[in-house]
C-alpha cells in the first residue's frame, strides 16, 4: 500500500507544476437566437406571398379531350414465298437429312439464297429469312 500512496503523492506534487487547463465558459441560456427569428420571418413572408398570389391568380379550367379508340391488328408476319426456289427432293437419313432445292443438295443449317435451312421433314423444308419462315413443299 505504501507504494501506491507514494505514487499518488508524486502525482499530486507534479500536477502543481503544470498550468491549469482553461475551459471556455458555457454560453448563457439568456442569449437571444437570431437564427430562429430569421427563419420564422422568412417562413411567414413565404406563406404571405403565396396567399397573396393565390387570391389574384386567374383560375384556369382544364378540360379533357377524349381520344378516339383505335383498334390495332396483331402483327403476324405472313410466311414468305420465294417462287424461284423449287424443292425437288428430300432424303431422310439416320444422321442427316438432305433437300434438293433448284438442283443443289442442302442439309439443315445451310444457306439457300440468303435464307437458312432450318428443318427438313418428309414432305417439306422450312427456311428462315430475317426472322420469317419460308415453307417449300414437294409437289
d(CA 113, CA 136): 14
pLDDT digits (tens, 9 = 90+) for 58-75: 666 666 677 777 666 665
d(CA 132, CA 65): 41
Q: Is 29's pLDDT higher than 60?
A: no
d(CA 108, CA 34): 86
Return the higher-pLDDT residue of 17 and 64: 64
Q: Is 101 exposed, middle or buried (0-12, 13-18, 19+ CB in 10 A)?
A: buried
Residue 23 banded pLDDT, cuts 50, 70, 90 = low
Amino acid at each position: 500500500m505504501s507504494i501506491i500512496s507514494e505514487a499518488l503523492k508524486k502525482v499530486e506534487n507534479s500536477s502543481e507544476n503544470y498550468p491549469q487547463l482553461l475551459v471556455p465558459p458555457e454560453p448563457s441560456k439568456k442569449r437571444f437566437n437570431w437564427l430562429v427569428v430569421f427563419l420564422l420571418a422568412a417562413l411567414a413572408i413565404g406563406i404571405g406571398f403565396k396567399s397573396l398570389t393565390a387570391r389574384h391568380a386567374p383560375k384556369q379550367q382544364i378540360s379533357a379531350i377524349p381520344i378516339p379508340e383505335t383498334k390495332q391488328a396483331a402483327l403476324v408476319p405472313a410466311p414468305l414465298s420465294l417462287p424461284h426456289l423449287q424443292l425437288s427432293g428430300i432424303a431422310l437419313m439416320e444422321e442427316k437429312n438432305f433437300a434438293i432445292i433448284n438442283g443443289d443438295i442442302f442439309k439443315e443449317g445451310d444457306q439457300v439464297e440468303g435464307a437458312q435451312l432450318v428443318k427438313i421433314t418428309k414432305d417439306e423444308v422450312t427456311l428462315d429469312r430475317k426472322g420469317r419462315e419460308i415453307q417449300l413443299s414437294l409437289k
